[in-house]
Amino acid sequence: MSNTKALPVPDPADARAVAPCCPPLTERPFTAEEAETAARMFKALGDPVRLRLFSAVASHEGGEACVCDISDVGVSQPTVSHHLKKLKEAGLLASERRGTWVYYRVEPSVLAAMGKLLTGPSAAA
Amino acid sequence: MSNTKALPVPDPADARAVAPCCPPLTERPFTAEEAETAARMFKALGDPVRLRLFSAVASHEGGEACVCDISDVGVSQPTVSHHLKKLKEAGLLASERRGTWVYYRVEPSVLAAMGKLLTGPSAAA
């Protein structure tokens, strides 16, 4: 029996962002560290253009989208790219380059963790 | 039979803030107006100190707290008051003056709506 497993090794930066950071808001006061982590995610969604882009990716066919798929938010393509990068840095989107384009996909585990943080354990169902 | 009812008349500003604004993020791209409303709430939680204060109120005994109950977040009482007012303006807290102090209480319907927005209809259970 071997301890070696062929599991993919996650990028530590991604793992930190994706890990559910915090208890439900109603359970106990957040520590400074928990608040830093969670506030970073909320802040990323706290800009109207970024939130529209995030919902455009999240609701796109197949659950992913590239800049080439997003044209109706009223901002330039470089601005779209900038915001998608910010959402990725906050751990809300994952990305993968395929050919010419970078495709973005929502991290469902992060949304679930944020939802649970807001509404308590009942949202985990 | 009378059409007159003795229901409390909600403050229109509160009602606007409290109403669930938006479909789940994964359902369809947000309109500009939906994104404005939801981003305002996320932005209010996008500051670490404000998020700590919010969790301090949300987790306080009885579900409410005044500035006098919050002393361990490492900011001055005027700063606490400032942040609680911002959270109220974003529709996340309700407040009531009783004697010397203003008591803040989390709006559970707003948290539920934000949770549903993030995780989809399953979070409504």
Tell me the residue ranges of DSSP E strands in chain B.
Answer: 64-66, 93-98, 101-106
Q: What is the CA radius of gyration of chain A?
A: 16
Residue whose C-alpha is closest to residue A111's, from B106, B39, B118? B118
A109 Cβ under 8 Å from any chain B Cβ: no
> Å from A17 to nearest chain B CA?
15
**Cα torsion angle, B10, A114, A56, A62, sign:** negative
Tens of pLDDT, residues A38-73: 999 999 999 999 999 999 999 999 889 999 898 788
pLDDT number for residue A20: 65
Close Cβ partners of B125 (under 8 Å, ≥ 6 residues apart): A122, A125
CB contact under 8 A, B106 and A51: no
Candidates A43, A51, A109: best to mutate against B (most CBs of B within 10 A) is A51
Q: Is residue A55 a contact partner of residue B29, using CB atoms and an 8 Å limit? A: yes
At residue B17, does pLDDT exceed 70?
A: no
Q: What does the CA dihedral B19, B21, B23, B24 come to, rounded to 10 degrees?
A: -90
Q: Report the run of H or E that residue A57 belongs to, with start and end.
A: helix A48-58
pLDDT number for residue B57: 95
Tens of pLDDT, residues B60-118: 998 899 998 987 888 898 999 999 999 999 999 999 999 999 999 998 888 888 889 99
**Higher local confidence (pLDDT), B112 or A1:** B112
Average pLDDT over residues B36-63: 94
